[in-house]
């Protein structure tokens, strides 16, 4: 849903000098959208404020401009929607919302731990999308922590197996851009 996405984010507006550990070439490679063509995935990992959502949105906007269909959601919002649909027997039709677009942005994976039924809904979506369409996900959790996020090691492994089979993983381990100016103020005192 492009309307729910902060669609003014572009790669040009991303200051790579602020994240020296992130290789700009890896982001520019993603921006060629070859991974979207290949129905592969991209994962942006790191702590809050490093620009995960910014880059995910910039890639989705580029994909949209190139004629691909996109859908933006947080993981928690998707889970809420799928649960509500499941409760009234409309899971299959709601799943199609997340299966149809060429690019699905799944923002904020891992912010809240999921229950078993919720994790199972995520697994259904991931396994149905596998090799059919791209996912760009952002997460503040390392993959090794996904067992805790999804409340079940076996389920987390099954999700990661499909997600990571064809996936560019970018770890952004640096300072929060949100704190940039505040830290600068502290530094001058």
Give residues in contact with ligand ADP (CB under 6 A): 9, 13-15, 18-19, 48-54, 138, 177-178
Report what 48 binds from Mg ion, ligand ADP, none; CB cut-off 5-8 Å by kind: ligand ADP
- Tell me, by CB under 5 A, how many residues bind Mg ion: 1
With respect to ligand ADP, which residue has the nearer C-beta, 49 or 151?
49
With respect to ligand ADP, which residue has the nearer C-beta, 48 or 115?
48
Residue 159 CA, chain-centre distance (Å), reads: 14
Told to check if 74 binds Mg ion by CB under 5 A, we report no
The answer to whether residues 132 and 165 touch, using CB atoms and an 8 Å cutoff, is no
Min. distance of Cβ 179 from ligand ADP in angstroms?
A: 10
Give the CB-nearest residue to Mg ion.
53
The answer to whether residues 172 and 56 touch, using CB atoms and an 8 Å cutoff, is no
Min. distance of Cβ 34 from ligand ADP in angstroms?
A: 23
Per-residue contact string for residues 48-67; x = within reach of Mg ion by CB under 5 A? -----x--------------
With respect to Mg ion, which residue has the nearer C-beta, 53 or 134?
53
């Amino acid at each position: 849903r492009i309307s729910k996405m902060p669609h003014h984010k572009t790669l040009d507006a991303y200051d790579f000098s602020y994240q020296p550990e992130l290789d700009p070439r890896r982001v520019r490679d993603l921006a060629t959208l070859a991974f979207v063509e290949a129905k592969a995935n991209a994962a942006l990992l790191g702590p809050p404020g490093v620009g995960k959502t910014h880059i995910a949105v910039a890639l989705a906007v580029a994909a949209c401009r190139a004629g691909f269909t996109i859908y933006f959601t947080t993981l928690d919002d998707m889970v809420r929607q799928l649960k509500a649909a499941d409760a009234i027997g409309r899971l299959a039709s709601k799943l199609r919302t997340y299966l149809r677009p060429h690019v699905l942005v799944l923002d904020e994976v891992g912010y809240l731990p999921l229950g078993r039924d919720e994790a199972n809904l995520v697994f259904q979506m991931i396994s149905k999308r596998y090799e059919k369409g791209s996912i760009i996900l952002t997460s503040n959790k390392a993959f090794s922590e996904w067992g805790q996020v999804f409340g079940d090691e076996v389920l987390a492994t099954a999700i990661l197996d499909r997600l990571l089979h064809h996936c560019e993983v970018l770890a952004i381990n640096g300072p929060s851009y949100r704190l940039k100016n505040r830290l600068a103020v502290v530094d001058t005192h």
